[in-house]
Structure 1
Amino acid sequence: MKIYNTNRLARILLFLMISTKIIMAQTETQPYEIIIKIEDGEIRYYPPIMVAEHKSKNPGSGFGKLFNYISGNNNANTKIAMTTPVHIKKNEDENSMSFVLPRKFNPESAPLPIDESIKVYEKESGYYAAIRYSGYTNESKERLYSKKLQNILKKLEIKTSGEEVILVYNSPYRFINRKNEILIPIIYEN
């Protein structure tokens, strides 16, 4: 009986890994250009992009509301494809979570949210320092990689220009090869 359960579990895990890989291969990812590699990180340029954002004191409360928005709870009753990454900002006063909208949307064409706690807007272009880490994200990893990136920037005398952002690329159902990043806006001159 145990062999049957082990085989069944192995088949389920294999199915989840394959289906996640197929879904991720079809998911649009926010574009950026790598300007230069810096030690364990990169300097990137991000062009303008449309985002849907939810702000709250509770860091986990935004996902459901944002998911409802892209599932059709908007003025156009339009389903919007999920993209990557999810942007998360955390601080003592307020947290925010943002979904990047597909590139086909602009300020005139993006559906308006019915839920007034969601704001849809065009995020300005900018330069960012980025560092990648794997596994599930948590506060300990976020602090570690944020500090690591800040130390690199300090060493290279690159000035920051805003709050850091946590980028989460994978659904919670993906168990291996997970990708997360810390972004810090910077003042960068080519």
Structure 2
Amino acid sequence: MARYESPTYAIIRQDGPFELRRYETFATSAVDTKDFSGRDGFGTLFSYIGGKNQPAIKMSMTVPVINTMKEDGLSMEFVVPKTHLEQGVPEPLDARIRLQDYHEHLAAVVRFSGSVRPERIEAALEQLKQWLVRQKLTAVGPVRIARYNSPFSLPMLRRNELWVEVVLQED
């Protein structure tokens, strides 16, 4: 499998499938979607990185593909390659696409394999919440699903993660 660029982070703490990470600043191109399959959002974002932007620059595919869970659905996001952060992120020509900045932050992460389905997400989220309590961490952002593999990968070989921005609890 080819190696794709992904956001840079340092592992602060590791405990089985759980990690506490410090992410460096990164950006994404994002579009709202209604379902976990992401069929409607993927094509829109793929067109953007394929050159449907100003000034018609093609960008490399990156990982993970991120879904941010919101009350009214979710968003699908592609990470912007670092070279475009330095040179200027191309402007989307499609009004449905927005650019989003992620500043340096701490994130609690749980890794899981298989297909991304609501019941798997709920189970992983419950495990992550319990780990946050044990680690004295407080969630301060929405839950994000990070998918690292093609949808054509065998489910048992897929790398998926749930991310949530956190802060350390004060004693």
TM-score normalised by the chain length of structure 2 = 0.89
2:25 pairs with 1:45: no
Structure 1 residue runs of 5 or longer lacking an equivalent are: 1-20
Paired residues for 1:80-159 under 5 Å: 80-106=59-85, 109-159=88-138
Of all paired residues, the percent bearing the same amino acid is: 30
SS at match of 1:143: helix
2:165 pairs with 1:165: no
Shift of 1:63: 1.2
Cα separation, 2, equivalents of 1:32 and 1:156? 19
Structure number with greater Rg is: 1
What whole-Å deviation, never above 9, does each CA across 1:86-143 have from its counterpart, x for those lacking one? 1102233131111001111227611100001101232211100001011221111111
SS at match of 1:83: coil
Shift of 1:70: 0.5
Contact 1:88 1:165 in 2 (8 A): yes
Contact 2:7 2:24 in 1 (8 A): no
Partner of 2:12: 35
Comparing both structures, which one devotes a greater share of its residues to helix?
1
Mean alpha-carbon deviation: is it higher for 72-81 or for 30-39? 30-39
Structure 2 residue runs of 5 or longer lacking an equivalent are: none
Comparing both structures, which one devotes a greater share of its residues to strand?
2
Aligned length: 166
TM-score normalised by the chain length of structure 1 = 0.80
Partner of 1:13: none
Shift of 1:68: 0.7
